[in-house]
Structure 1
Amino acid sequence: MTNAEAGKNGKIEGVRRRLLGLRPVSLVSWRDAIATLTPIVLLSAAAIFATLHFVRPAPPLHLVMAGGPDGSNFRAVAERYRQILARNGIELQVLSSHGSADNLDMLAENKVDIALVQSGVTRDGDVSDIVSLGTMFRQPVTIFYRAPKPIERLSQLAGRRIAIGHEGSGTRVLAMTLLDGNGIEPGGATQFFDLEGGDAAAALLARKIDAAFLSGDSANLGAVRDLLHADGIRLFDFVQGEAYERRYRYLNRFELPPGAFDLGANLPDHRITMLAPTVELLAHADLHPALSDLLVEAAQEVHGRGTLMQNPGEFPHAIEHDYPMSDDAARYYKSGKGLAYRYLPFWLASLVNRAAVVLLPIVVVLIPGLRFAPYLYGWRIKRRIYKHYGELMALERAMLEPMTPEQRAALLAQLDKIEKSVVGTKMPGAFADQAYILRRHIHFVRDGLGAGATREDDEVALLR
């Protein structure tokens, strides 16, 4: 083998080795892919974070409720709520209290989460955090008195011994309001006793007092029946019931038919007009919506049936009294339970609802963004090609003008620079055809510059 052949073979072998050492061209430009996906991912993350800021956490599994004195109607209602919530995995702790006013104080002081409060019972101080979950039931006030003949006006109790309930009870608040409306105030001849419920009934039976105000937040139906059967004790008939109803808007007037408490003994023995404030279920404004729905649902089960004091389906309802209606409760009264809570267990429905809210920005932002990503990625790659096409067009426009050999050489040098830039540009294999098409166009422009130079040389020769 000659030296020339050996040298040629060596060059070929060197080229072969260099080719073998080259890494294959990637089909994807990871730099452009990351630059394309990063804004989409960041925007989606921001949307998810913003959504999570407004998504409530899972509902607590423990609630505290202010009931009433042991044996009262309020306490009995609270116990029924506790049983219903337990079926859904919610533990309801019921605390004893003196009644409505005490319940309201406990709620305002954040000692409890929910409370039954008689309408007309208010307190001083900030109560902007308290909302109503609806009016639950009607709570009649029953006034029993001992007298040889019926009395028609509460003013006739002036100078008597009257049980008005413990401090903190709704019975006491209502009793003082009604007595004050009839000119009977503390400090006069009338004596007031802090007795309620069974204690007040026992004192009236024992002739230690002359009259007693009883209400559901401090008394039970058994005490009322005992007093109705007692000799010499009468149930007050609000013959001025319409006037009371118009003066105190939270009171409702209704008639109790004969025999309502005891058909056999026909007690009462005549139709009696009664007055009853309604009772609201109050809560803090930040009560979890899922628990709000569950409590209203429980209230419908407990209070939806007809009783001696109300018609079937009359309660609960969304009529506001002393406190604004909760938005969540108003929505429930209007539309009922959410779809998930209708068909799934409470814990699972809560999880599904929160997951759906988190998935919302993914559906609205991330998925459309990912669908747009390939177009944005392709645009980023092609933009490098399109930039060189602009330079080529500028060169072609310059070719239309008369030019000196030096200017033509400068244009050719610029064209070589463009081609070198194209060759040196990192281009994913999927877009390599675009680069080769551009180089073919570069050669087309170069041929045009060469043809122009030949024509100029021919013209110069002819002139000579």
Structure 2
Amino acid sequence: MTPIQHWNSTRRLRLFVQTVRDMLVSMGPLLLLGGGLLVAAYWWLDPQPPREVRLATGPAGSAYAAFGEGYAKALARDRIQVKLIPSEGAQDDLAHLRAGTADVGFVRGGMADQVADTEAGIVSLGSLFYEPIWVFYRRDLPLARRQPGGALERLTQLRGLRVNVDQDGSGVPQIVEKLLTLNQLSATDLRLSNLPPDAAGQALKQGKLDAAVLISAPQSELIRSLLRDPAIALMPFEQNEAYSRHLPFLSTVTLPRGVVDLAADLPAHDIPLLATTTSLLSRDRTHPALRQLFAQAAQSQHSAAGWFNGVRDFPNTRTSELPVSPEGDRAINGTPPAWARYLPFWAGNLLERMWLVIGGLLVLMLPLSRVVPPLYTFRVRSRVFRWYARLREVEAKLEAGEGEREALLDELDELDRVTHRIAVPLSYAEELYALRNNIYAVRKRLLAQRPPVPPAMDAPGD
């Protein structure tokens, strides 16, 4: 590269850097205003959720506990840690939500107080699955042998038997009490106990209980174990339609023939049952992004066909007792935004929470952006025009006859050297060349002046 090429390359680079700096400085006020508004909106909207969320599940080995593990794995993909809070069951989960010790929880139908819990800010993210009311009993009951076919068919036949109705926190005792009341029975008519599900299952198999009432999804290992035990039978709810009319939170379902084991034809016939519908409830103070993640995870966790439902029957918003949050409704009934399929969670969430603010800023910035070109023009021209003040000083000294001629020429030469180092875009070169012409004109006037004649010296002897 020749010296001239190197000089031109360096000059072009310096001009580019100078132009970029001028643009940034010109846009500075606009950028500061927009940045300040974005920071304020970010602080106000708080778009990014906390990295930990508390989920109230259920007893170890229950379907709730298994589902909780599934949700924890699903949210871990978005770097959200789900802290699982074991509980005695649905009633205990609801108590955690009311107390604020859990952010999300599984609660079955019939547990929530629609008025009080709505006012307390508890919302639904959608109904997830059926939880049938399973009444298991021992086949060797003398009472059962005296019935047609040797089976129990009505709750009134449990009178005087040893019946377990789960722990108080599960919510099962409350539902059983309502069922007994409809049959004109009281708790004193049965020998009730409140063992946890696993202990009740073992006691039933060992003959220490005559019957056990469980409310659980069929995914529970205990339910599947009892269904396969030849010494244990399942009581059908032949009057399930009547029960559902009296207790609207109950649904009528059927355990299809052979669904437990097709090869063994288990069960050997359809069994009518009653079921509650379990929902995923959340506090309205839980970050909206977390509610959205849970609602989306519910789609993959509960949309498959099951023993009592078809594909995509769940999650749904039809059977929710509490108001459904916008996040749950959008995840279940709406269409996810296009960016959600391509952006990572944090970026998609930020865009979803901030799009209105960003749009408003664009609308505000468009008219304000008109001040940028004048500011840029002023900044570029100021690099040229500020040297006119120094040129006027030289010209004023010239007109007033002040200052040494050589000193003024040196000052003009210095000013000329400075202007040759000024870099401006080609569109503003006219102002730069005009400054150089004016410097040349002042130098020309200065050179045109006659130098002062030194005073003559007197001859010796004069």
Answering whether residue 183 of structure 2 is matched by residue 191 of structure 1, we say no
1:175 is matched with which residue? 176
Answering whether residue 366 of structure 2 is matched by residue 367 of structure 1, we say yes
Answering whether residue 130 of structure 2 is matched by residue 130 of structure 1, we say no
Secondary structure at the aligned position of 1:168 is classed as helix
Identity of aligned residues (%): 34
1:211 is matched with which residue? 211
Aligned 1:315-354 pairs, distance under 5 A: 315-354=314-353
Amino acid at match of 1:77: F
Structure 2: distance between partners of 1:349 and 1:49: 18
Answering whether residue 142 of structure 2 is matched by residue 139 of structure 1, we say no
Conserved? CA contact 2:61–2:220, under 8 Å: no
Q: CA deviation at 1:157?
A: 1.1
TM-score by length of 2: 0.67
Conserved? CA contact 1:144–1:234, under 8 Å: yes
Per-residue CA distance 1:343-395 (angstroms, 9 max, x = gap): 111122233445544433321113223337999xxxxxxxxxxxxxxxxxxxx
Structure 2: distance between partners of 1:118 and 1:48: 42
Conserved? CA contact 2:125–2:282, under 8 Å: yes
Unaligned runs of at least 5 residues, structure 2: 1-27, 139-143, 375-462
Number of equivalences: 341
Structure 2: distance between partners of 1:266 and 1:371: 79
Per-residue CA distance 1:132-186 (angstroms, 9 max, x = gap): 0000111112111232222222122122111000111033332222222222222
Secondary structure at the aligned position of 1:141 is classed as strand
Structure 1: distance between partners of 2:185 and 2:72: 40
Structure 1: distance between partners of 2:258 and 2:352: 51
1:16 is matched with which residue? none
2:261 is matched with which residue? 262
Per-residue CA distance 1:413-438 (angstroms, 9 max, x = gap): xxxxxxxxxxxxxxxxxxxxxxxxxx
- Greater C-alpha radius of gyration: 1
Conserved? CA contact 1:99–1:168, under 8 Å: yes
Secondary structure at the aligned position of 1:261 is classed as coil
Answering whether residue 98 of structure 2 is matched by residue 98 of structure 1, we say no
2:70 is matched with which residue? 80
Say if 1:285 and 1:235 are closer, same or farther in 2 by CA, change over 3 A.
same
- Candidates 36, 54, 71, aligned match of 1:64: 54
Amino acid at match of 2:170: S
Structure 1: distance between partners of 2:79 and 2:226: 41
Structure 1: distance between partners of 2:33 and 2:158: 74
Q: CA deviation at 1:126?
A: 5.2
Unaligned runs of at least 5 residues, structure 1: 1-36, 376-464
Answering whether residue 285 of structure 2 is matched by residue 295 of structure 1, we say no
Structure 1: distance between partners of 2:169 and 2:36: 50
Q: CA RMSD in A?
A: 3.1
Secondary structure at the aligned position of 2:100 is classed as coil
Amino acid at match of 1:189: D
1:120 is matched with which residue? 110
1:89 is matched with which residue? 79
Amino acid at match of 2:307: L
Secondary structure at the aligned position of 1:140 is classed as strand
Q: CA deviation at 1:256?
A: 1.6
Q: CA deviation at 1:64?
A: 0.8
Conserved? CA contact 2:168–2:194, under 8 Å: yes
Aligned 1:8-27 pairs, distance under 5 A: none
Structure 2: distance between partners of 1:140 and 1:173: 15
2:383 is matched with which residue? none
Q: CA deviation at 1:232?
A: 4.7
Structure 1: distance between partners of 2:78 and 2:37: 33
Q: CA deviation at 1:233?
A: 2.9
Conserved? CA contact 1:52–1:358, under 8 Å: no
Q: CA deviation at 1:129?
A: 1.1
Say if 1:260 and 1:353 are closer, same or farther in 2 by CA, change over 3 A.
closer
Say if 1:49 and 1:231 are closer, same or farther in 2 by CA, change over 3 A.
closer
Secondary structure at the aligned position of 1:275 is classed as strand
Conserved? CA contact 2:277–2:319, under 8 Å: no
TM-score by length of 1: 0.66
Amino acid at match of 2:176: A
Conserved? CA contact 1:196–1:213, under 8 Å: no
Structure 1: distance between partners of 2:256 and 2:166: 27
Amino acid at match of 1:213: V
Tell me which stretches of 4 or more aligned residues in structure 1 moved more than 6 Å. Answer: 40-47, 372-375
Q: CA deviation at 1:332?
A: 2.8
Structure 1: distance between partners of 2:370 and 2:164: 76
Pick which of 50-59 and 281-290 moved more. Answer: 50-59
Amino acid at match of 1:362: L
Q: CA deviation at 1:325?
A: 0.7
Say if 1:339 and 1:231 are closer, same or farther in 2 by CA, change over 3 A.
closer
2:155 is matched with which residue? 154
Conserved? CA contact 2:127–2:280, under 8 Å: yes
Q: CA deviation at 1:49?
A: 7.6
Say if 1:138 and 1:90 are closer, same or farther in 2 by CA, change over 3 A.
same
Structure 1: distance between partners of 2:106 and 2:230: 34
Conserved? CA contact 1:43–1:365, under 8 Å: no
Structure 2: distance between partners of 1:258 and 1:353: 47
Aligned 1:228-243 pairs, distance under 5 A: 228-243=227-242
Structure 2: distance between partners of 1:347 and 1:43: 25
